Amino acid sequence: AQSVTQLGSHVSVSEGALVLLRCNYSSSVPPYLFWYVQYPNQGLQLLLKYTTGATLVKGINGFEAEFKKSETSFHLTKPSAHMSDAAEYFCAVTEGNQGGKLIFGQGTELSVKP
Amino acid sequence: GAGVSQSPRYKVTKRGQDVALRCDPISGHVSLYWYRQALGQGPEFLTYFNYEAQQDKSGLPNDRFSAERPEGSISTLTIQRTEQRDSAMYRCASSSNRGLTEAFFGQGTRLTVV
């Protein structure tokens, strides 16, 4: 069975600092991995996804993530945090070819301090 | 419409009543997904459709929950004899085809059972 673990339910960084949100997955088959962002009172928005090919994936708003099979990880990073990055972030995995049938982690709330 | 639309946005119901939650996907989207999200948790898959066919209902928690998409567009998630533990955010998503394409999420329906 697949699962996703996000380390840290709350992460706080200063504006301009590195953002690192951790995600580890468990899957018996090659996974497809996703990061979604949820702003208050809005739906989930896809930041980036990894399916096959290049293991470093770039997404919107300056975020990127690297698939590391040996570590079963897919951590999300951004070199310099902006106040507008404050939101909840979800890592998700799917094993099939149905991109919308996802198993989500519990989420990490990112706070950005001025 | 421009995005996935869910109605109502908020629903308060008394224990034992039936509720129907509606999802209007992006026009032309083949696949439609339902998720439930408890407070402080990630979304949990319930069921999905390709066109009007329900492909997977493995996430429906019990037989009080059902979903339909009779004409392959709008979908309704029905919860019969609601219980307090059904209180959650119910999210709908749609995607343009059955592959690993992005799923677009609606803003959700916040259900409170009192």
pLDDT tens track for B13-67 = 999 999 999 999 999 999 999 999 998 899 999 999 999 999 999 999 999 999 9
pLDDT at B33: 95
A28 or B70: which leads in pLDDT: B70
Facing B105 at nearest CB: one of A43, A101, A107:
A43
CB B56 within 8 A of CB A101: yes
Overall size of chain A counted in residues: 114
Mean pLDDT of A90-101: 82
pLDDT at B1: 54
Helix (H, G, I), strand (E, B) or coil at B11: strand
What is the overall mean pLDDT for chain A?
A: 93
pLDDT at B97: 76
- The span from the first CA to the last CA of chain B, in angstroms, equals 33
pLDDT at A81: 97
**Contacting residues of A for B45, CB less than 8 Å apart:** 101-103
Bridge partner list, A89: A37, A108
Q: Closest approach of chain B CAs to the CA of A24, in angstroms?
A: 15
Is B10 within 8 Å of chain A by CB? no
CB B44 within 8 A of CB B35: yes
